Structure 1
Amino acid sequence: MSVREIRVFGDPVLRERATPVDPTAPATAALVQDLLDTVQVPGRAGVAANQIGVAKAAFSFLVDGRLGYVLNPRIDEVRGEPQLVDEGCLSVPELGFPTPRHPYCRVVGVDLEGQELVLEGEGLMAQMLQHEVAHLDGKLYLQALEKETRAVAMAEVRKASWY
């Protein structure tokens, strides 16, 4: 498999709501391997399938040395009041902004055998889970920013060399 190119802000696939995947289909296993390969580039915590151009409900992660993936994920529980945490996104390169995130998150999905898979955590894990599920809903973290911060962020995006 391979490390795939990350799609950036403005690419229509990033606005698409991901469709469910068949966990046992050969194409799904290939997608998972590409996601796992792609997330292992240094500096990455998560990669959603639509970030590599595939509008399917899957993401990979590498948080605190733990590498994994989940298919057809949904947020099952969040706890605590949202707190502003510094956040960036591979699809909005070189920029980062304080983003409201719940301090705890639990996501439920399935693995390649169709068995239930539960991912949960606090801190960076909670942040990553919320961020990647939002990608699969066709949303970038910029949409979660507070109004004033979002205005600044969009101005920075328009000035970015990659835009």
Structure 2
Amino acid sequence: MDSLAVQITEKIDVLINTKFPPAVKDKLDELEKTTKYKKAHIVGAVILIPVLLILALLGASRLIINLLGFAYPALQSFKAIDSKDSKTDTQWLSYWIIYGSFSIIEHAFVYVINAIMYFPIFKMGFLIWCYHPSTQGATTVYEKVLAPYVVPHLMSKVEHSD
């Protein structure tokens, strides 16, 4: 899956080198040196951020939040399937439990949630915290909440049903 990101970055680099005016290329080179971000990532952000803002202003904030909560985690989940590391499995399985729980809660309590003024921003921030590689919040939620409080009750229900 990383190869897809690399391919996209390479295509943007080709576009920058062949289609952009020299003054823009020079400015991108300067930005790349000062920010330590690749030129392709800078161009992608310059295009993507205004598009997301326009969509948000047009009322598509739920779509944006769901895309932010789905796209990167889905990509990482595909990578985790091929991985032998059980920590990545815990991270992404926990994330999808949290993501699914949000979906169920949102549908069940739609009127209450719509009354909570900053709920979409909270949800977006929480989901990003859950999946961001530096925080791995989903693993924290699993270790601090799910494993000690939820899993034992679910396992006792499963054992009683067998």
Structure showing greater Rg:
2
Please give the TM-score of this superposition, normalised by the length of structure 2: 0.27
Q: Identify the structure with the greater helix proportion.
A: 2
Please give the TM-score of this superposition, normalised by the length of structure 1: 0.27
